[in-house]
């Protein structure tokens, strides 16, 4: 397994584009670095191959590499961010992918306006070969419907209805091809029905979902989740998983945690 990360050299809360962000509640830079390094060390210690991209000035959310694209059938689906603040990131990620030899499913003129939005692996999660896709806040259902490279027979549309859980990776995480953790109240009733019919789901309590318990990184039988999630931790251990905790308080301030800081690329 290989992932992409971006060290927080220019991370901070410089705007408000989700309910978590508050420019009056600033990130503590030293703690943000320490928490990112703890996550990096934990993932590397599991044997995960980690590639790094340098953060550029003026794109504070570039650390959340989950939104840089979606690794799908050995190619990258580039994002089309909803907000101009994050649209600035796309050229940096696109150039990095091309320099590293990745093929792109949807390379396009970045100056050309696009109607349908898509925010990478923040809104696309694979369980086996089934792709759960989130829409409603930052990604549009039309993006998936219009993309010819997706296997539409294996797409599960997941409408998000709680603005605090604006990407699917904030409230859903596959553990393997057959099981996933989730916070059901983040989804519409129709989405809940479709998801339950597709995969075995383990509920995460509201208080732990609000601490981004579902924003986890899974590798084999290991899972890396934010600290202070005891109920979910016990459920995961009962499933035979080894749980690793990382402090993520400085990233939760911006609406992200462990999974948001990583992008699978191999």
Contacts of 106 by beta carbon, 8 Å cutoff, 6+ apart: 77, 78, 147, 149
Give residue 105's pLDDT: 96
Give residue 252's pLDDT: 98
Give residue 133's pLDDT: 98
Low-confidence ranges of the chain (pLDDT < 70): 109-113
Give residue 188's pLDDT: 98
**Which residues constitute the domain of residue 14?**
2-264
Which is it for the CA torsion 240, 246, 252, 255, positive or negative? negative
- State the CATH number of the domain containing residue 38: 3.75.10.10
How far is the C-alpha of 172 from the C-alpha of 167, rounded, in Å?
Answer: 9
User: What positions carry a catalytic annotation?
Assistant: 167, 260
Our count of domains for the chain comes to 1
**Per-residue CA distances from 55 to 6, 10, 207, 237 (Å):** 6, 7, 32, 35
Give residue 115's pLDDT: 78
> Would the pTM of this model clear 0.85, i.e. be above it?
yes
Give residue 110's pLDDT: 66
């Amino acid at each position: 397994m290989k992932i992409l990360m971006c060290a927080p050299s220019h991370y901070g809360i410089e705007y408000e584009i989700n309910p978590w962000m508050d420019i009056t509640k600033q990130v503590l830079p030293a703690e943000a670095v320490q928490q990112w390094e703890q996550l990096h060390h934990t993932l590397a210690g599991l044997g995960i191959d980690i590639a790094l991209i340098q953060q550029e000035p003026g794109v504070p959310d570039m650390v959340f590499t989950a939104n840089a694209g979606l690794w799908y059938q050995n190619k990258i689906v580039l994002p089309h961010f909803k907000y101009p603040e994050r649209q600035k990131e796309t050229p940096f990620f696109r150039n990095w992918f091309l320099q590293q030899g990745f093929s792109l499913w949807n390379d396009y003129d970045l100056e050309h306006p696009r109607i349908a939005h898509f925010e990478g692996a923040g809104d696309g999660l694979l369980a086996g070969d089934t792709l759960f896709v989130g829409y409603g806040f930052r990604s549009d259902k039309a993006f998936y419907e219009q993309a010819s490279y997706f296997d539409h027979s294996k797409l599960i549309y997941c409408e998000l209805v709680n603005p605090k859980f604006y990407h699917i990776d904030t409230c859903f995480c596959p553990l393997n091809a057959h099981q996933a953790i989730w916070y059901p109240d983040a989804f519409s009733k129709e989405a809940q029905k479709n998801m339950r019919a597709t995969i075995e789901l383990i509920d995460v309590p509201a208080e732990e979902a609000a601490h981004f318990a579902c924003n986890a990184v899974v590798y084999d039988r290991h899972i890396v989740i934010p600290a202070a999630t005891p109920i979910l931790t016990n459920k995961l251990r009962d499933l035979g998983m080894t749980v690793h905790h990382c402090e993520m308080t400085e990233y939760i301030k911006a609406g992200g945690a462990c999974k948001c800081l990583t992008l699978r690329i191999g």
